[in-house]
Chain A
C-alpha cells in the first residue's frame, strides 16, 4: 500500500492546469509505480483527462463506449480480481446513471474502485440541466462504505487522487469542469482524507465549504474583515464522508455561527452532513445551509450561475451579513458537553 504523507513530487503546474488535467497526469504518474492501477472511462477519455493514463498505459486502460452502467460493473469485476480501478465519467452519470452498479456492485462488495466524477455541480451550466449535477454528494454520502471527497482545486485533486489509494474501499472524488482557479500555492499543507483544513482563522462565524466555494469563501472572509470587522473562519471540508466532526464542533463552540456553502442542492449534501453532526451534539448555534435551494439550476456559463446563485464571494458576503444579525441561545453548560 502506498501512502501520500510527505510526497513532494510534482507532475503538474497547478497555476495553469485544470483539476481534471491534473487528475489525468497524477494518475499516469502513480501508475508508473503501481501496476495494479487500471483506468476506465465511457467515451470520455479526453473529456475527463484520463487520456494521459490511457496514452501511457494502453494495456491497462479500458474504454467501454458510452455505457456508464457497464463502466462501473466492469470496474467492479476488475477490482474483484485484485486490481485498483480508477473510473472517470461526468459526475451526473457516475452518481445517477450507474447509481445501482456503484451501490451494489462496488460499495456493497466494498471494492477499491475510485470514481472520478467530473463536470459536477453547475460547472457545466451551459450544457443544460441534463448535465448539471447537484445531487451527487447526497447520493454518494448515503451509500455505506463510500468515501466522498470534493477537492477545492487542482492541487487538492492531485492529493486526493493519491491519498485514495490508501482507502481500502470505494472512493468518490467530485471535480468540476476544470476552469476553477487554484486555492493552494503548493501541496505542503497536510492533506489527509477526513481531516478538514482551516483556511482562514476566525472567531465570529465559521463557513464550512467544499469545492469551488472554498476560494470564494476565503475572498469573502477577507472582505468581511476589512469592511465589517467580522472575523470569519473558513473551513475546507474536502471530505464529505467521513466528515470531520471535531472541526465542526470546535467551530460551533468557538464561533456559534455556522454557514455551509456547497455547489449542490442544500438537501442532502455538505450542509445536511454538518447539520447532523451539530444536532446530535446537542449544541445550539445560528445555522444556515447555502447552495441550490432545492431547485434545478437554470442555463448559463458557470461564472454567471455562481453569481446568480450567490456562490461567488459577493453572494457569500451577503449570506454572512444576514447571519450575523441572528440570535443564538446562550448555553452555559456547553463546556461540559
Chain B
C-alpha cells in the first residue's frame, strides 16, 4: 500500500494546516493567488512530507531531489510548505510581498532557502526540469526532479517543447504533474483555450499518463510510487483538482484566482477549511 491509514491521517492534518496558513498569507501579504495555491496543497504535501529526498539541514545538498513550481503563482501554497518542512522560519511568512521580503507572489531561488528555481513567468519550469534531469543523468546522480504545472499554463508552446524533450531523452528521472483545476484567469480553460483532449495530447508526446484525483492521498501516493519507479517512459500525473479547494465560497470560482480578503472573510475561509 503506497499510503497507510496513519500516514494518510498525518498528511491530511498537514494539508489542513497548510490551507489555514495560505489564508494567513493572503491576509499578511495584502493579496495572494489563493485559488491556485489551495488546489495544489495535497500534491505539495505528499511531495514534501513523503517523497522528495530533501534535507532542511543541508538545503543545497547536491544529491537532493529537485522541485520546480512551474506555476510560480502557487507561491502562497509552496512557500508555507517550505516553512513547515523547516527550510525557513514560519514567522518570516508574515513579511510576504512586503519590502525586502524574500517572498513575493512568485518564488525566488536567489532568496528562498530550499527553492530550486525562480518561476512565475509561465511555461519555463518544465524546460528547467528537463535540464536538471539531463544533468543528473550525466553526473550519474540518482536524484529525481519533479515539476508542477498549471493547466492553463499548458497553453504555452514551450511546455510542449519540453514535453517533446522529456520523451526524446527518455527522462524517467523527471516527473511532471499538472494541476488540472480547469480554470485560468479569464475563465475555464475549455472556454478560453480548449486543452482537451488533454490526456491524449500528453500521451501522444510519448509520456506515460496517470490520471488521479489530486486531493486524494491514496491516489497521489500510488501515482508518485509509479512515477518514482518509471523505467520506460517519463510519467506525467494529470491531477484533477478544484481551484480554491477547501474553502466553500472559493471553490471553482475564478474570482479567487488572485484576491485579498478582510479579516472577517479570512475567518469565514478558515471556518470552512476546518469544517471540510
- Residues of A whose CB lies within 8 Å of any CB of B are 41-47, 63-67, 69-70, 92-93, 97, 126-131, 298-301, 304-305, 308
A305-B99 contact given A69-B157, A130-B106, A130-B118, CB 8 Å threshold: yes
Q: Contact: B193 with A64, CB < 8 Å?
A: yes
Q: Once bound together, how far apart are the Cα atoms of A126 and B33, in whole Å?
A: 12
Q: Once bound together, how far apart are the Cα atoms of A210 and B29, in whole Å?
A: 30
Q: Once bound together, how far apart are the Cα atoms of A43 and B151, in whole Å?
A: 13
Residues of chain A within 8 A (CB-CB) of B75 are 128
A-B contact count (CB 8 A): 102
Residues of chain A within 8 A (CB-CB) of B104 are 126-129, 299
Closest to A54 in B: B186
- Given A65-B184, A92-B121, 18 more A-B residue pairs with CB atoms under 8 Å apart are A43-B155, A43-B192, A44-B185, A44-B186, A63-B186, A64-B193, A66-B122, A66-B123, A66-B153, A67-B193, A126-B29, A126-B98, A129-B104, A129-B118, A131-B106, A131-B120, A299-B104, A304-B99
Main secondary structure of the interface of B (DSSP, over half): loop
Q: Once bound together, how far apart are the Cα atoms of A18 and B104, in whole Å?
A: 23
Residues of chain B within 8 A (CB-CB) of A44 are 185-186
Residues of chain B within 8 A (CB-CB) of A66 are 122-123, 152-153, 155-156, 184, 193
* Chain B contacts with A in 95-110, Cβ cutoff 8 A: 97-108
List 24 A–B pairs whose Cβ atoms lie within 8 Å, in order of A's numbering. A41-B186, A43-B185, A44-B186, A46-B185, A64-B193, A65-B189, A65-B193, A66-B122, A66-B153, A66-B184, A67-B156, A93-B121, A127-B104, A127-B105, A127-B120, A128-B106, A129-B118, A130-B106, A130-B118, A131-B120, A299-B100, A300-B97, A300-B100, A304-B99
A127-B106 contact given A66-B122, A70-B157, A298-B99, CB 8 Å threshold: yes
Interface status of B119 (Cβ within 8 A of chain A)? yes
Q: Once bound together, how far apart are the Cα atoms of A129 and B106, in whole Å?
A: 8
A65-B99 contact given A44-B186, A127-B106, CB 8 Å threshold: no
Q: Contact: B185 with A126, CB < 8 Å?
A: no
Q: Once bound together, how far apart are the Cα atoms of A67 and B153, in whole Å?
A: 8
Q: Contact: B99 with A308, CB < 8 Å?
A: yes
Q: Once bound together, how far apart are the Cα atoms of A41 and B100, in whole Å?
A: 32
Residues of chain A within 8 A (CB-CB) of B153 are 66
* B residues contacting the other copy or chain, number (CB 8 A): 35
Q: Contact: B100 with A130, CB < 8 Å?
A: no
A97-B121 contact given A67-B193, A299-B102, CB 8 Å threshold: yes
Residues of chain B within 8 A (CB-CB) of A41 are 186
Closest to A131 in B: B120
Interface status of B72 (Cβ within 8 A of chain A)? yes
Q: Once bound together, how far apart are the Cα atoms of A66 and B185, in whole Å?
A: 9
Interface status of B56 (Cβ within 8 A of chain A)? no
Interface centre among B72, B103, B111, B186 (most CB of A within 10 A): B186
Residues of chain B within 8 A (CB-CB) of A64 are 155, 193
The smallest C-beta distance from A245 to any residue of chain B, in angstroms, reads 36
